[in-house]
Amino acid sequence: MGEGDPRRFQLEDGGFLAFVLLVTLGFAWLIAPYFGAILWGLVAAILFAPFNRKLCSLLGGRRNLSAILTILLIVGLVIVPAFMLGVALVQEATAIYGQIETGQMDFAAMYQRFQSSLPSWASGLVSRAGVTDFNALKDMFGSGIAGGLQAIASRALLFGQGALKFIASLGVMLYLTFFLLRDGDTMGKKIIAAIPLHASERDALIRHFIVVVRATMKGSVVVAVMQGLIGGLIFWGLGIEGALLWGLLMGFFSLVPAVGTGIVWVPVAIYLLVTGSIWEGVVLVFCGLFVIGLIDNLLRPILVGHDTRMPDFVVLIATLAGLQLFGLNGFIVGPMIAALFMAVWSMVADHRPQEGGG
């Protein structure tokens, strides 16, 4: 075969593509320990890129300075408050765990008061369900909740051991974010040009990817922070123990579609109403429905609109699966993969009628 033989070209081309795939997989394996840092660096760059562009324009095109100032803004708005919240959470978890260990907080006694306050029909249902063994109940609730709190409290002891890894991951994230903010447009054009897709399909997928990331972060994280903050303040104002923990739980569950903050405040409100704390229970129900609940109904459409265009059941399954596979990073990765999956198949469906009609 000569040098110009097309069969030789196809063979060599296929071998090169296999080599590219192998090298790419090797690089992915290499950077896997810093997957979270890279993911959050990419997300931060996508979210703050519009602000950085405006700042760069105001500074006369000084990209280094604008990127540095944007990084300082990210540290002040996100990283410092998150660190302070983590420290306060560990302190509160440690205090509550100490109360459980000393017997000041007895979940079995709390449940006994709850059951004794139930009406006869509800008490009968509880009896038929076989949950009247208070010693077993104490072991179940005490060991389970105490175990969870102990796990949080133990982070304080493990922080010194994991501090170096945490600092390294944070450094990688900020370092990557800086270069993505400064040179993101140039690097993005090179990466996009290398993607082996038709230009129209490639550009549509890239746009959809960026839209999904921004919509997920704005619609999920902002709403979660607001609901967790306001929910924690309501619990604190009502004098409920562990308001910071309750607020954090409400913020976390607000990230899960079809679950929401009600999984936290509804049982607490029922307990307050049944055990005689009528005023506190009524206030919590009112605030849960018309304050915490309205945050999601009002803010999410404003922040997200119809950008993601995904059914709620798809978002729910993708979020839960993402959390299970990727941990905390999964609430971004899951919906992102689902959105790209739907975008690709939507493009396939759009092309099918054209091909059939032609």
Per-residue pLDDT of 23-65, as tens digits, reads: 989 998 998 888 888 988 988 898 899 899 999 999 988 999 9
pLDDT at 309: 58
Q: What is the band of 5 on the pLDDT scale with cuts at 50, 70, 90?
A: low
Give pairs for 240-243: CB < 8 Å, separation 24+. Answer: 240/268, 240/280, 241/96, 241/105, 242/92, 242/96
Say what the pTM is.
Answer: 0.68
Tens digit of each residue's pLDDT (9 = 90 or more) over 53-98: 999 999 988 999 999 999 999 999 888 888 888 777 777 777 776 7
| pLDDT confidence of residue 211 | 74
Does residue 124 sit in helix, strand or coil? helix
Q: What is the 3-state secondary structure (H, E, C) of 135-180?
A: HHHHHHHHHHHHHHHHHHHHHHHHHHHHHHHHHHHHHHHHHHHHHH
| Mean pLDDT, rounded, for 191-198 | 76
Q: Residues 147, 181: contact at Cβ < 8 Å? A: no
Q: Write down the pLDDT at residue 65.
A: 93
How crowded is residue 155: how many other Cβ atoms within 10 Å of its Cβ? 14
Mean pLDDT of 311-333: 80
Residue whose pair of structure tokens reads 């929910």 in the numeric block = 231
131 vs 35 pLDDT, higher one: 35
Domain ranges of the chain: 34-194, 197-347
Q: Which DSSP category does 32 fall into?
A: G
Give the per-residue pLDDT at 150: 53
> Which of 45-54, 107-116, 190-199 is the most confident on average?
45-54
Average model confidence (pLDDT) for the chain? 76
Confidence grade of residue 140 (pLDDT, cut at 50, 70, 90):
very low
Answer yes or no: is pLDDT of 117 > 80.
no
Does the pLDDT at position 116 exceed 90? no
Stretch 98-105: mean pLDDT: 67
Is 201 or 70 the better-scoring residue by pLDDT? 70
pLDDT at 310: 67
